Amino acid sequence: MKMVKSLILGSAAGLLAMGGAQAADLPVKAKAVEYVKICSLYGAGFWYIPGTDTCMKIGGYLRVDTTFNGGIYDSPAWSGDIGQHNRYADYFAARSRMALTVDTRTATEYGVVRTFAQGDFQFDTLGNNTFSPNSINGSLPVAGANLLHTPGGGYVAVEFVFIQFAGFTFGKSASAFATPWHGYPGNNSSFLLGGHDTVTGVNNIQYTAQFGNGISGTIGLDDPTVFNRTVVANLTVPLTSTGGIANAYGGVTAPDVVGNIRIDQAWGLFQISGAAHQVNASYNVLNTTGAPAGAVGLPGAAPTGLSELSGHPDTKWGGAVMAALQIKNIPTGPGDDIKLDATYAIGDTKQVISTSSTSPLFTMFGGASNFGSYQSIGFGATSDAVYLPVFAGGDGDLHLTKAWGVRGAFNHNWDPYWSSSLFGSYSAVRYDNTAKAFVCATYTAARVAAPSLDYSCNPDFNVSQLGVITRWTPVKNLTFSAEVMWFHLDQKFTGSAILAPPAPKPVARYDFKDQDTVSLNVRVQRNF
């Protein structure tokens, strides 16, 4: 019996040991995997951030384009070395960009809380459209900062960065003055003039109210420093020979007040926008002579030790109004539409002579018409106001510049793969009679030598643009496009004179003449 008992107990112990060993070999139960969950509340592409009730979407595009006889993004050859057509001008300029967007949304008892940001990783042609040492050589005091575009270089640009909550928007976003298409009714070019453009965002605070049936209203405060100022010119600093004016704007003491009323329905869109813009100068006495090329010194319109004692013009308010219209479902084909906007501004010229960057100063050269002239020149100075202090023979008041413009496009789909747009703009800049007299007196006395008998001075100018673009989309979200754009500068000077334009142009006799240029932009873009 003892043997049987010992055998049974030993067998039981062996089975327990084996069971323990097998149990030790079994895998420990893993925690449940938290898979990404689709968020269908806000459209395609959103997903829940694991462990939260916040939905996120990551998107953007990759774009490569090249402009011939112009600057990046189809900038016309309207200034600089490309406007001079000299040996420093690049025949083409290119940019490669990847835009990355992050969009988050969270439902709350107050409505959706949204954040949005876009960063652009990009690399450009060094100097954009010029290889002049004055533009790309970082060792010169007069050089530009283009050395980010060297081998292995590039930079990140910031576009929209904002928070939206309960109808409010805080951050860098489109102005309440803007249309949904900004400066792009049908074009690739970032330089279609004639109206407002904050497509890359401006620091602001705004509130939008929805009234139902597609009707809304928005009011906002914009920071004007970067995107809504051109130049206030103290005419004791004479215009350059090519019409350049030094900037005597004072500091910002008030934001731009902007707003719109919009109707957005199945038939299209109609919008009325308004803006109030403060125009204020710095001082009456400013440095009148800029440092020569290659030297270090005060730039034109820089303050001196006498500036604060000299006083300043009284601050004035200007502004702008705009009407915009989009017509959908037109009989030419499905998806076709027409977009138009018209703007009138006083002391707020950036609302008309606007790009996705700064307002241009036009300086273009061409062939001569008169015997004995070296070449012809056309220029137009973009400003918000000009003034001439009393001690210099003026009235000391700010004379606000007027401007108006219209632009638009007809967009047509040939089939699901091919589409085209015909677009254009017309803009005008006007100085009042007193401002013209001050501008012309200072310009002619300081910059004009041996004028012809038919010479006359008038700083007013008009600009026109007309273009066509065709797009091919062989597969979804991949588009190839080609755009041709004509630009015309209608300047108002007459006759000829001996001028001293920037080098490498010589001091010579130049005819005052309207100028034209044509550019070609080709682009491939993949959206994701």
What are 453-464's pLDDT values in tens digits? 999 999 999 999
Q: What pLDDT is stored for residue 20 in this prediction?
A: 45
Structure tokens at 392: 């210099």
Q: Give the angle subtended at the CA of 404 by the CAs of 275 and 444, to the nearest 5°.
A: 115
Burial 427-437 (b: 16+ CB within 10 A, else e): bbbbbeeebbe
User: What is the Cα–Cα distance from 25 to 19, expressed in whole angstroms?
Assistant: 10
Q: For residue 25, is pLDDT > 60?
A: no
What is the rounded distance in angstroms from the CA atom of residue 64 to the CA atom of residue 47?
Answer: 29
Give residue 263's pLDDT.
98
What's the CA gap between 82 and 85, in Å, rounded?
5
Q: Which of 206, 346, 226 is nearest to 276 (CA)?
A: 346
By the 8 A CB rule, do 402 and 433 touch?
no
What pLDDT, on the 0 to 100 scale, is given for residue 14?
47
- For residue 391, CA distances in Å to 231, 387, 395 come to 22, 12, 9
Separation of alpha carbons 497 and 67, rounded Å: 34
Query: Which pLDDT does position 120 carry in this prediction?
Result: 96
pLDDT tens per residue across span 130-178 = 888 777 765 555 555 566 788 888 999 999 999 999 999 999 999 999 9
The gap from C-alpha 135 to its chain's centroid, in whole angstroms, comes to: 21
Residue 12 — pLDDT band, cuts 50, 70, 90?
very low
Closest by Cα among 203, 120, 194 to 161: 203
- Return the pLDDT at 325: 98
Q: Give the residue ranges of DSSP H helices in 78-223.
A: 80-84, 133-136
**Looking at the predicted structure, is the pLDDT value of residue 396 above 80?**
yes
**Residue 198 pLDDT greater than 60, yes or no:** yes
pLDDT band of 17, cuts 50, 70, 90: very low
Structural domains in the chain? Answer: 60-101+163-527 (2.40.160)
Helix or strand holding residue 88 (H, E): none
Q: What is the pTM of this model?
A: 0.89
The angle formed by the CA atoms of residues 249, 461 and 493, to the nearest 5 degrees, is 110
What average pLDDT does range 23-28 have in this prediction?
Answer: 50
Give the DSSP H/E element, type plus range, for residue 53: none
Give the model's pLDDT for residue 131: 84
Q: Six-digit token pair at 44? A: 């395609």
The answer on pLDDT for 516 being more than 60 is: yes
Average pLDDT over residues 174-187: 97
Does 339 score more than 70 pLDDT? yes
- The radius of gyration of the chain's CA atoms, rounded to the nearest angstrom, is 31
Q: Per-residue pLDDT tens for 216-237?
A: 999 999 999 988 999 999 999 9
Task: Please give the pLDDT value at position 489.
Answer: 98
CB 465 within 8 A of CB 518: no
Q: What is the mean pLDDT of residues 297-304?
A: 85
**Residue 481 pLDDT > 80:** yes
Q: How many CA atoms lie within 13 A of 486 on its CB side?
A: 7
pLDDT digits (tens, 9 = 90+) for 86-141: 999 999 999 999 999 999 999 999 899 999 999 999 999 988 888 887 777 655 55
- Predicted confidence at residue 30, as pLDDT, reads 54
Mean pLDDT, range 352-358, rounded to an integer: 89
Is-contact 328 266, C-beta < 8 A?
A: yes
For 474, half-sphere exposure in the C-beta direction (CA atoms, 13 angstrom radius) is 4
Confidence of residue 299 (pLDDT cuts 50, 70, 90): confident
Distances (CA, A) of 297 to 24, 241, 244, 370: 82, 20, 19, 39
pLDDT at 295: 58
Average pLDDT over residues 73-89: 95
For the segment 289-303, the average pLDDT, to the nearest whole number, is 72
Percent of the chain whose pLDDT exceeds 90: 82
**pLDDT given at position 300:** 83
Tally Cβ neighbours within 10 Å of residue 88: 20
Quickly tell me which residue has 């009679």 as its tokens: 433
